[in-house]
Amino acid sequence: MESWKTLSRKTILNHSKYLTVEEHVVELPDGRIIPDWPWVVTPDFINVVAVTVEGQFLFFRQTKYSLEGVSVAAVGGFLEPDEDPFEGAQRELLEETGYAAPDWTFLGRYSVDGNRGAGNAHFYLAQNAQRVAEIDADDLEEQELLLLSRAEVEAALDAGEFKLLPWTAVVALALRQI
Amino acid sequence: MESWKTLSRKTILNHSKYLTVEEHVVELPDGRIIPDWPWVVTPDFINVVAVTVEGQFLFFRQTKYSLEGVSVAAVGGFLEPDEDPFEGAQRELLEETGYAAPDWTFLGRYSVDGNRGAGNAHFYLAQNAQRVAEIDADDLEEQELLLLSRAEVEAALDAGEFKLLPWTAVVALALRQI
């Protein structure tokens, strides 16, 4: 079972550091050529499910542009260029919540869109988190920190209240580990 | 907690039915205006975790352009324009596996990208599936049908072998229901 080959690529939209679109000439294993396969370049990002020393889960109530209404949300953000995903996860946890954690579990790296790319999600579980600083988030959206019990997290997950794909994924994966 | 408002939108890349890029003028709750917010339009899609009457899980070994090497994959595909997601899920299960199922559970609708949109994932669990037809898939990738035990599914999930974000999400959510 062979992968497709990228024969050439050109940029067809250079919007910003958050979005570039390329067109690839792709060769399939049977020799067919696709001359105009679109490919979306967006930054990789991390999400973290953090649990405090008291066993409470750190989430947010917040809005996102793609979502209707308010959602329960996981810690997360884009990686800086060349930033190590684990360092990015530690940075985002600290910036967004003021918490730091000694115990980290990597929950995997997942491509967002199998056809178009659109970056990779890097997922982490952080345990025994403690408050060490003030919140220092630079996000455009309002965020309200929530401390939830495990039962509340499970209820929100099963009710679809983590409305964004990476949030529901990281929460479902993290709950398998603890 | 208010959502952002879309004041106007224009298409800046019209590649195909699979990808359009817009630029939105967006108003934040505090009155700030973002004049050039990029927004990605891709079709909604479904994924299905299907379990046979014998308790085996229907997955694939397959490649995807965005992935390195081979992945364990869930049933799934784009919805046709105006197609009902549940009907699309039943259609994709039949086309890709030749199986049909009487018992369906909706696992939620999730926006792929909180900033850029990029469509919605609609997730389903199908139980008591039985083979009723030949496979009739029109996908460009090779797919090999796998019948896995629950233990094999859990092992693959925890090892990160569902390499695509929607696949790992739908599997982790489905396992919570059965």
Q: What is the pLDDT of residue A18?
A: 95
Q: What is the pLDDT of residue B135?
A: 87
Helix B150-158 to helix B165-175 angle (10° resolution) is 130
Is A70's CB within 8 Å of B1's CB?
yes
Give the chain B residue nearest A24 (alpha carbons): B65
Q: How many CB atoms lie within 10 A of CB A138?
A: 7
Percent of chain A surpassing pLDDT 70: 100
Is B113's CB within 8 Å of A42's CB?
yes
Question: Min CA distance, B17 vs chain A (Å)?
Answer: 11
What's the rounded Cα separation, in Å, for the pair B164 and B45? Answer: 14
Q: Is A100 on the interface with B (CB under 8 A)?
A: no
Does residue A170 contact residue A49 with C-beta atoms inside 8 Å? yes
- A36, A63, A160 ranked by CB distance to B1: nearest: A63
Q: Which fold has domain B45-175?
A: Nucleoside Triphosphate Pyrophosphohydrolase (3.90.79)
* Mean pLDDT, rounded, for B27-37: 96
What's the rounded Cα separation, in Å, for the pair B125 and B127? Answer: 7
Q: How many CB atoms lie within 10 A of CB A126?
A: 24
Question: Min CA distance, B81 vs chain A (Å)?
Answer: 18
Is B1's CB within 8 Å of A61's CB?
yes
* Mean pLDDT, rounded, for B20-30: 96
Is B13's CB within 8 Å of A16's CB?
no
Q: What is the pLDDT of residue B137?
A: 78
Q: What is the pLDDT of residue B37?
A: 97
Give the chain A residue nearest B16 (alpha carbons): A38
Q: For chain A, positions 108-137, list CB contacts with chain B under 8 A.
A: 108-118, 121
The percent helix, strand, coil of chain A (3-state, each to 5) is 20, 50, 35
Residues whose CB is less than 8 angstroms from the CB of residue A54 and which lie 6 or more positions away in sequence, other chains included: none
- B63, B70, B169 ranked by CB distance to A172: nearest: B169
Residue A50 has pLDDT above 90, yes or no: yes
| Amino acid making up residue B145 | L
Q: What is the pLDDT of residue A116?
A: 96
- B29, B68, B163 ranked by CB distance to A110: nearest: B163
Is B38's CB within 8 Å of A19's CB?
yes
Convert the pLDDT of each residue in A98-143 to its tens digit: 999 999 999 999 999 999 999 999 999 999 999 999 888 777 778 8
Q: For chain A, positions 15-44, list CB contacts with chain B under 8 A.
A: 15-16, 18-19, 21, 23, 26, 28-29, 34, 36-38, 40, 42
| Domain definitions of chain B by residue range | 5-41, 45-175
Model ipTM value:
0.96
